[in-house]
Each structure stands twice: as C-alpha cells, then as structure tokens.
Amino acid sequence: AKEQGRGRFVFYQAEMTERVQKEAELAHMLSSARFLQQLYMVYQPQFDCESGLLVGFEALLRWEHPEQGLISPLTFIPVAEKRGMIDDIGIWVAQHVCLEVGRWLEDGLSFGTVSFNISPVQLRSEKGVECLLSLLKSSGIPLHHFEVEITESACMDASDNTIELLESYVNQGLKIAIDDFGTGYSSMVTLRKLSACRLKIDRSFIRDMLHNTNDEMIVKATIALAQSLGLEVVAEGVESKEQLAVLKNQGCDFAQGYYLGFPMKSGDTINFLRLLDRK
C-alpha cells in the first residue's frame, strides 16, 4: 500500500508540474496577445422580454491564437488573474469598449447600454478601479451608456474606498450589475453593500428551470426580490423559446442568450445595429 501511495504521489506531482508548465506557457502567450492583435471583443445583445426591443449588449473578451484557435476566457482569465496581468487586460477591455461605443455614437446608432466584466482581482486594486473608471469618463461618452458587471464574491472582496468610488460614478450615470446572481454565498449582503441597478440571474438556474422545480422557484424568487427592491433583472443563457416564455410570464425584464443572439464581432454588431435602425 505504501508503494502504491508513493506512486500516486509521483503521479500527482508530474501532473501538477505539467499543469504549472502549461499555465506558464499560456501566460507567456497571453502577454504578447494584445500586441499581436489576437484579442478582440464580441458583443452579445440583450432584449426587453416584453417588447422584444434591444436594450444593450454584454461585451465579452475573445482570444484567438493562430495555432491553438479560440481560447476560452474561462481558461485564460484565471491565468491572467494569477499572474498579475488582469489589470492591464481589464484596461484594454475598457479602452476597446469605449472605442466601439464611440463609433456607434458617431454613426448615430441606438444601442442602449454596454456592459463589461470586471474581474474580482481587478476590483481588489483601488488604483486599478480608479484608472478604469477615469478612462470611461475621459472617453467623453455619457456614463449612462456603460454598465460594469461585478460578481457577488468580487463585491465582498472590494474595499470600502472602491465601493465609494463606484458609487460616485453611479451618481454620474454608470450602472452596476451583479453578475451570476444567486451563485455566491452572500447574495443579500452584496445587495446591501452595493447600489446595483441590475441583477443577472446565473445561466445555471435558467438552464435547469424547466425541469427542476427548485431552480424555477429560485428564478421566480429572484425576479420578485429584484422587483421589490426596484432593480432590473436580466436572465442570462436563454437558449429556448420555452425559457423565454416562462421568464416573460414571471415578469423578468431582460434576457440574453443564444436563443436571442450570439456574441458578435465588431463589424457584425454594427451591421446588426444598422439593420435595427432601418426598421
């Protein structure tokens, strides 16, 4: 048994070394990705459940490596967070969102609000958040066009100063959405800590709500909670007509998901907006 235990340990260690190596390699590739123009943003539309009208987009980061193809943000964001690269990437994201929104405004297109994700690690740095928010302001774009998505756990980690800074921007029009609502350990505390405008119901609840009564009840309760607090609710990951119908029935404000629209590259997003404007 001892022998086996040893073998197992060696096996784990080899596996770990390999993982660390892979991670270092990924981090190295990522550090040059911005300059090699392998990063870009995609924009996933969000719609009003009742009217079906476009209300905005969520901006999502993409990394397309020439040999490895698309690398998921679920893979590279954690590496960027661990290796101290997330602040720079977060700034890059905000800059690109500003450039894009600037173009839409110049074209006279109506698009509502554009939201983007702020990493928990990014939110832990007061300087980083300050830099990001002042970037939004200096773009000259009215702040009500922007929304930042913050997860519950990220909010719990944020300092009082950071929360205060965020609030001062909220007073100037910036919107805050609590992302993946219901998946953290402290949904209610988050609601008290942050003056959010929106709750985003996590995709996992939407995915199972038609088959799982608990999930259906959680969705229902979240919508009711948001309504009584005067917040807007967005359902994420809506993949079917049936899901949309139930959400609409329960009074959910907005929906986002493959059934309604995939994330689109810049050019496709502009074409989409032009088409909508012509209607």
Looking at the Cβ atoms of 117 and 139, the one nearer to Ca ion is 117
Least CB distance to Ca ion at residue 171 (A)? 23
Least CB distance to ligand C2E at residue 8 (A)? 33
Q: Which residue has the tokens 């980083």?
A: 128
Task: Spell out the residues 6+ positions from residue 129 whose beta carbon is closer than 8 angstroms to its own.
Answer: 118, 122, 123, 162, 165, 166
Q: Which residue has the tokens 């007073």?
A: 171
Residue 237's binding partner out of ligand C2E, Ca ion, none, with CB under 5 to 8 Å set by partner kind: ligand C2E
Binding footprint of ligand C2E on the chain (CB under 6 A): 44, 60-61, 72-74, 77, 93, 116-117, 119, 179-180, 203, 236-239, 257-258, 263
Residue 61's binding partner out of ligand C2E, Ca ion, none, with CB under 5 to 8 Å set by partner kind: ligand C2E
Q: Which residue has the tokens 């080899």?
A: 14
Residue 109's binding partner out of ligand C2E, Ca ion, none, with CB under 5 to 8 Å set by partner kind: none
Query: Which position among 100, 147, 149, 253 is part of the footprint of Ca ion (CB under 5 A)?
Result: 149
Report how far residue 109's alpha carbon sits from residue 146's, in angstroms, rounded to the nearest whole number. 15
Q: Are the C-beta atoms of residues 46 and 56 closer than 8 Å to each other?
A: yes
Q: Which stretch binds Ca ion (CB under 5 A): 14-22, 109-117, 168-176, 240-248?
A: 109-117
Q: Which of 148, 54, 64 is nearest to 104 (CA)?
A: 54
Looking at the Cβ atoms of 115 and 250, the one nearer to Ca ion is 115
The alpha carbon torsion through 102, 107, 112, 113 (nearest 10 deg) reads: -20
Distances (CA, A) of 80 to 28, 70, 189: 10, 16, 28
Q: Which residue has the tokens 């476009």?
A: 54
Query: Which position among 180, 215, 232, 253 is part of the footprint of Ca ion (CB under 5 A)?
Result: 180
CA 43 to chain centroid: 11
Residue 239's binding partner out of Ca ion, ligand C2E, none, with CB under 5 to 8 Å set by partner kind: ligand C2E
Query: Which position among 44, 46, 113, 117 is part of the footprint of Ca ion (CB under 5 A)?
Result: 117
